[in-house]
A and B are shown apart, each in its own frame.
Chain A
């Protein structure tokens, strides 16, 4: 018999919260997000004005708490202030430069379809790249890693630095 059998059987109520671990996991993911926007080049048309902030948007349920805000506080990228927005639906054009899609998001395909070009889409759910996303976080050996869908990024008008590509766990072309 397999242990899956066991899993099937006893104790199937919702798991107790794993706040601590998630805290650390999302601290690291938040730090990655800040790094991503530093290592990606956007076309000028992706911003409202030359003064507009570099907006990292979190869709739906926010897993970061205040972590992401603290990470980006006082950070600038190419002279733009980095800002965090929480949004409930796919962003209108030019309002977000990076979009984080948490795993709580149900219909990833629809979300990505409704997100226009010029937005770096970052997810954490399996199959995110397959669904049309650009960067996905993965847990490997208990560490946060990420994989990249280079074509999707290029189609969105974004240029990923070679440094980002070199650290990625895998690159799909």
Chain B
């Protein structure tokens, strides 16, 4: 049926123009950089007593006694598939952006589309519009209700400030609510107390053409700490066989954080960021007037900022409450659409410890986003263009210790209401954790999670050009807004096992089965007809985003970590994913399922080696394999990264980083109108000064 075929192509291209603007997918908890029992990351877990005795007061004050992530140790006790990427891991990987750092986590699919765009999925459904992974930065949700995904190009943080990234695979809907369907990515920066003094870093290379970061942290010597930072980068285009080097990218950003420990009971945090960027884009654009379909290469101007305040109080009986408010402004002026969104959010949380080994948590939250979408091209419109999206949530959870603190049951549910849903939706979960001893744990979970509808389903009109008929009438297909779009639903079943084997080996394995229904589909909504408004007269094939797909995914993730020696750490991961998605009965989907299934790798494997030649010289290697993405016409690939870090004096470190070293360039994902973009081999050098 060539007609449907042309429709598909038309719609897909049309959809890509939306994608070009980064509509991406979203899905918790404690961490580990598991310091395998007895071997902290930092210099010398054991210092000879004789040496200690000879150290001065000043020298004693300089010994690092904890690893960067202390809380993480609880990972073994977490009834969810969590992986923690520490700030140190990021430094040693040489990652210069959050998406690149996420490659370190098992079960996460990171595919770079071009210079400033990534497809980041967890347990399937990866695309640049990834809609079922929830991303937070210091408690601020950065998912946008525009398309229920994340604009990765504006989620920049100074990498030296990152304390850790906690990646939770699997649904976290009960706590996190909308979009925490397939996973949660929680980016946590260091408290101001941990960033005292000065730090500056500069560097550059062939892709990372130049970057500079500066941070200053101070305090009043007692209970008040702060930091300010400024950073910027300019990145060159990736590989373009046709020569359209559109995807260069420049950013300047600054921000601050203040932590005030007013008393043993009250803690206040205020933080904020402001940024301004230019990112080159290439987008397909369709308009009702000639030339109906074109490809635009132009710069997107991206700017915004945020301000967050949090108050935490410990109550007399050890319970605590927390109130958090934030404001976020996102201003995207791109070649095919323009949006200003202001988000206001407030959250309340209380944790109550009861006698009889129970701990109850409950919370309330509200968010409103007034938004203004300006039409840039006539084929891509949000109607009404001025709206206010909102989200109201509540949650309740009870953790019950069952048998002598060895078995615990966690029951809870989220309640939520958005401007896109009718009535109150529930996201219940049940988790069971059994720790037979301190060296191993077994957990299982059932979760029901929702991906709530977004503007791109409910208020969105997207035109695609098919052809011009013999009499000169243009023929379009158009996705019309669907105000009846229902939440996408998941029932997730997971089991996990963690074990410390001896002192040096740690093993983490998780299996899951996710059953989805009411998944997003692209449906024909009738036969072609002549439409007179908007002019000129044109033939229109109506279409709509609907809930016509269902299916399941199943998979396995294994992440061992081995420390053969104090100075050598080896980590690996293997992720297997099988997806089965198809049309539900009566669905008019035009065939999106194969693309969805074919856009996430079935196999992924990584090996990371972190080797300390001496306290001053570190060498790191990473190897990764990603199997083919037939839905994106991408073949399987292997590549690797390497870093040498040399701390040649107390204050200076010089590092040399090579990324994607195995080949001059390789493809990771489709999605640009002009064809695949090769992700290039890149090298950069960086000098860091701190005191």
Contacts and interface: CB of A to CB of B under 8 A. Distances in A.
A141 B139 contact: no
A27 B399 CA distance: 36
A132 to B, nearest CB: 14
Interface stretch (B59-67, B153-161, B287-295, B468-476): B59-67
B80 interface: yes
Contacts of A14: 77, 405
B408 A13 contact: yes
Given A10-B79, A21-B35, A4 B312 contact: yes
Which has the most chain B C-beta neighbours within 10 Å: A3, A34, A167?
A3
A11 B80 contact: yes
Nearest to B187: A3
Which has the most chain B C-beta neighbours within 10 Å: A5, A14, A126?
A5
Contact of B28 (A9, A13, A15): A9
B53 A140 contact: no
A127 B261 CA distance: 11
Contact of A24 (B63, B73, B222, B433): B63
Nearest to B308: A2
Interface string A74-112: 010000000000000000000000000000000000000
A145 interface: yes
Contact of B40 (A15, A16, A20): A20
A169 B431 contact: no
B60 A35 contact: yes
Contacts of A67: 49
Interface stretch (B172-180, B228-236, B546-554, B605-613): B172-180
Contacts of A21: 35, 40, 45, 65-67, 70
A130 interface: yes
B347 interface: yes
A167 B222 CA distance: 14
Interface stretch (B188-196, B240-248, B330-338, B370-378): B188-196
A25 B42 CA distance: 12
Nearest to A11: B78
A126 B166 CA distance: 27
State the majority secondary structure of interface residues on B: mixed
A147 to B, nearest CB: 8
Interface in B572-612: none
A42 interface: no
Nearest to B222: A170
Which has the most chain B C-beta neighbours within 10 Å: A12, A19, A28, A142?
A12
B615 interface: no
Interface string A9-51: 1111111111111011101101110110001000000000000
B438 interface: yes
Interface string B401-441: 10001001010100000000000000000010101001000
A39 B347 CA distance: 49
Contacts of B67: 21, 142
A10 B55 contact: no
A9 B47 contact: no
B186 interface: yes
Given A3-B188, A28-B52, A9 B65 contact: no
A13 B433 contact: yes
B425 to A, nearest CB: 16
A23 to B, nearest CB: 7
Contacts of B172: 6
Which has the most chain B C-beta neighbours within 10 Å: A24, A70, A147, A169?
A24
A139 B365 CA distance: 33
Given A10-B29, A20-B45, A143 B77 contact: no
Interface in B100-146: 136, 138-139, 141
A5 B37 contact: no
B61 A2 contact: no
A142 B349 contact: no
B28 A10 contact: yes
Contacts of B193: 140-141
A153 to B, nearest CB: 16
Given A8-B397, A18-B70, A13 B77 contact: yes
Which has the most chain A C-beta neighbours within 10 Å: B60, B73, B194, B438?
B60
Contact of A126 (B63, B138, B141, B264): B264
Contacts of B305: none
Contacts of B433: 11, 13
B46 interface: yes
Contacts of A24: 40, 42, 44-47, 63, 65
17 contacts: A2-B347, A4-B322, A6-B175, A8-B361, A12-B77, A12-B399, A16-B73, A16-B76, A20-B40, A30-B52, A31-B53, A126-B264, A142-B194, A143-B62, A144-B65, A164-B57, A170-B222
Give the top 6 A-B pairs by smallest Cβ distance, nearest first: A11-B78, A2-B139, A6-B28, A8-B361, A25-B65, A127-B264
Interface of A: 1-21, 23-25, 27-28, 30-32, 34-35, 39, 67, 70-71, 75, 126-127, 130, 139-145, 147, 163-164, 167, 169-170, 172
Interface of B: 28-30, 35, 37-40, 42, 44-47, 49, 52-53, 55, 57-58, 60-68, 70-71, 73-80, 82, 136, 138-139, 141, 166, 168, 172, 174-177, 184, 186, 188, 193-194, 196, 221-222, 263-264, 310, 312, 322, 324, 347, 349, 351, 359, 361, 363, 365, 393, 395, 397, 399, 401, 405, 408, 410, 412, 431, 433, 435, 438
